[in-house]
Amino acid sequence: MSGVKNSYETVFILSTKLGEDAIASLVQKFKDLIEAHGTIDTVDEWGKRRLAYPIQKQEEGYYTLISFTSAPEFTAELDRIFKITDGVLRSLIIRKDS
């Protein structure tokens, strides 16, 4: 079962209060984590954007979109890591249709 690979996209929003160095470090951390468990297809850093509504009293966030291929079990672990990482305001992982 571990031989099954699916295509996914994840988008996450980081707090701009972290500062540029910390944001770059977190983005790299997530890219390294995904590469350790699969392959990255594309990384699209949208940068600082205004949020549609305040999240944790913040008006702006740093958006990053990563398309990757991995085993289905990894997405649960990635979601868990997003939730416990300070500075991640929101995250979403979706499976793309093949």
With beta carbons less than 8 A apart as the criterion, state whether 88 and 82 touch.
yes
pTM of the model: 0.91
Q: How many CA atoms lie within 13 A of 25 on its CB side?
A: 10
Residue-wise pLDDT for 19-35, tens only, equals 999 999 999 999 999 99
**Residue with structure tokens 């500075």?**
87
Q: Which residues of the chain have pLDDT under 50?
A: 1
With beta carbons less than 8 A apart as the criterion, state whether 74 and 18 touch.
no
Measured CA to CA, the distance from residue 62 to residue 75 in angstroms comes to 21
Q: Where are the domains of the chain?
A: 6-95
The pLDDT, as a whole number, for residue 1 is 44
The pLDDT, as a whole number, for residue 4 is 83
Q: What is the CATH code of the structural domain delimited by 6-95?
A: 3.30.70.60
